[in-house]
Structure 1
Amino acid sequence: MIKIEGRNPVIEALKSDRYIEKIMVSTSAKEGSINKIVKMAKEKGIVVQYVDKVKLNEISQSHSHQGVIAIASDYKYFDIDELLQIPKEKNEDPFFIILDEITDPHNLGSIIRTADAVGAHGIIIPKRRSATITPTVIKSSAGAAEYVPICKVTNIVNAIKKLKENGVWIVGTDMDGDIHYEKDLTGAVGLVIGSEGFGISRLVKENCDFIVKIPMVGNVSSLNASVACSIVLYEIFRQREKSR
């Protein structure tokens, strides 16, 4: 079981098909969104347990529960074949995000949130040296983790090769690439975002079809991984919408 913490994440979990065992609500939280959660839970026959705020503080992992924590089934990860099937069923060009050792849960949550906003079909992460779906990630995603398929793979390079075999062009991000908005990012695309400290690894970079960069004129040499990802994702989104 996993804890889903915060009002928006709990609301999105209630809207989805996720199994929820119970919802714990602070006795001191009675505002509109809490009342909405209680109403939705009762309509679904989910147990609502009122507890002292101190109890929620004790069990919270995100430390930002906003007076409500849901105890739910563990997150279901997808395999790569399931991921590839999603755009086929929607009759859309594949649009994936590949994260090369993103370890900060807040960055992962933020990327999931943006992925949902731009209509990405899924995110691929490595099984090792990567943030995974935790209460902090779910909270940081504002509930988007309920809608964006996440695939955990043993080897990122092998996953990239599988995507390429299925017609997906792999776009890496690195400061020695071409300016991102000057490249054609339409069609079947897999965007690779590297780790917070080291960028994309050598082997991953070698398996990209081309590399893009975000132009910068300031004194700081790099952007936060989730910010950089969002900038390129929205350029892909813009080009895809324009080409429809």
Structure 2
Amino acid sequence: MEQDLIVGVHSIVHAIRNPKRTTVELIACEEGLEKLNKMGGLKKHELDGLNIKLVSSHKVQELAKELYAKEDFQYSRVPSGVLLVSSAKSISETKPLFDAIDAGEEVKILCLDGVTDVHNAGAIMRTAAFYNVSHIVFAVKNNFNIGPSMARIASGALEYIEIVKCNSLPKFLSALIKRGVTPVGLTEHTDDNEIGEIAGIKCLVLGAEDRGLSHASVRLLEKKIRLEPIGKIESLNVSVAAAIAMEKVFS
């Protein structure tokens, strides 16, 4: 069985409460269990039936190192003395999303075009969950990997958003457009800073940290917006820009 390593109190609590996940093992020291309760609001009865390995705080880190190496993740100290080993987050193909659109279901789609930094990706995912985004779509190549660091930064958002991987984001966008969806791209290469009215399904496309949207994606997008600075600093971190753009598109 494929496994996810989840760290961060809130991320662990949301994963435990997710009926689609199976807890393999909860590795924790006494203080870690206490933090799940006091910081994360996890009730004692929610731990009933879970496979809990109660060890010293030092042993938590030793076991984490072994698990990180086994799963090919770069180890960093596990916060709060608690680590969850869970069944893997399911990654969807594009067909179920297209089927949902064709069936008239209400979805909110966020496309990430070349976002590679897990810290930015995790922060974007957390904001997306705040705005009730249903699907995050990204291409197989040149994008972030889902792992412990991203799970911690996403603060539980992984449990509430469908993750969709496609072979080509431009081809995915083309398929959306054929279905009557008008994706909105965030880019500096436009003079338009007003979103206006968007009928039907809402879809926001965000580009990479350094180069923004790819040319292949930009060529397809009929609707593009920019964030107009009103101060001396003219650029934003992609996760901050994403939050402002989501307020415009999804609120």
TM-score range, shorter chain: 0.7 to 0.9
The SS at the match of 1:187 is coil
1:21 aligns with 2:21: no
For 1:16-55, what per-residue CA distance to the aligned partner results, in whole angstroms no more than 9, with x for missing partners? Answer: 1201111011234353534764725533x11111122223
1:160 Cα deviation after fit: 0.7
Which residue does 2:5 correspond to in 1?
3
Name the counterpart of 2:68. none
Identical amino acids, percent of aligned pairs: 25
Aligned to 2:84: 70
User: Does the C-alpha gap of structure 1 residues 11 and 132 become closer, same or farther in structure 2, counting only changes over 3 Å?
Assistant: same
The partner residue of 1:197 within 210, 229, 243 is 210
SS of residue paired to 1:220: coil
Would you say the 8 A contact 1:56–1:65 is kept in 2? no
Q: How far, CA to CA, are the matches of 2:26 and 2:42 in structure 1?
A: 9
* Structure 1 residue 77, shift from structure 2 partner: 0.4
> Residue 96 in 1 paired to residue 109 in 2?
yes
From 169, 180, 187, the counterpart of 1:174:
187
> Counterparts of 1:67 and 1:7 in 2: how far apart (Å)?
9
Deviations 1:142-190 (A, max 9, x none): 0110110111111111111111122211111111324444532453222
Answer yes or no: is 1:121 the counterpart of 2:124: no
Query: CA separation of 1:11/1:140 partners in 2, compared to 1, >3 Å: closer, same or farther?
Result: same
TM-score between both structures, scaled by the size of structure 1: 0.87
Equivalents in 1 of 2:45, 2:140: separation in Å?
35
Q: Distance in 2 between matches of 1:143 and 1:131?
A: 17
Q: CA deviation at 1:80?
A: 1.2
Letter in 1 for 2:30: T
Quote the Cα distance in structure 2 between the aligned partners of 1:100 and 1:230: 16
SS at match of 1:69: strand
User: In structure 2, do the counterparts of structure 1 residues 167 and 217 end up closer, same or farther at CA, with 3 Å as the change threshold?
Assistant: same
Could you list the per-position Cα deviations for residues 70-98 of structure 1 after superposition, in whole angstroms to 9, with x for gaps in the alignment?
Answer: 10112210111222345677842x32111
| Structure 1 spans left out of the alignment, 5+ residues | 239-244
CA distance in 1, matches of 2:121, 2:215: 22
Q: Tell which deviates more after alignment, 114-123 or 173-182.
A: 173-182
Match of 1:12 among 11, 14, 37: 14
Q: Does the CA-based 8 Å contact 2:35-2:80 persist in structure 1?
A: no
Say how many residue pairs are matched.
Answer: 236
1:52 aligns with 2:66: no
Is 57-66 or 45-54 further displaced after alignment? 57-66
User: Aligned to 2:186, what secondary structure does the other structure show?
Assistant: strand
8 Å CA contact 1:10–1:143 kept in 2: the answer is yes
1:39 corresponds to 2:44: yes
Is contact 1:83-1:149 (8 Å) kept? no
1:226 and 1:184 map into 2 onto residues whose CA distance is 24
- Answer whether contact 1:98 1:190 (CA < 8 A) is retained: yes
Alignment RMSD: 2.2
1:202 deviation in Å?
0.6
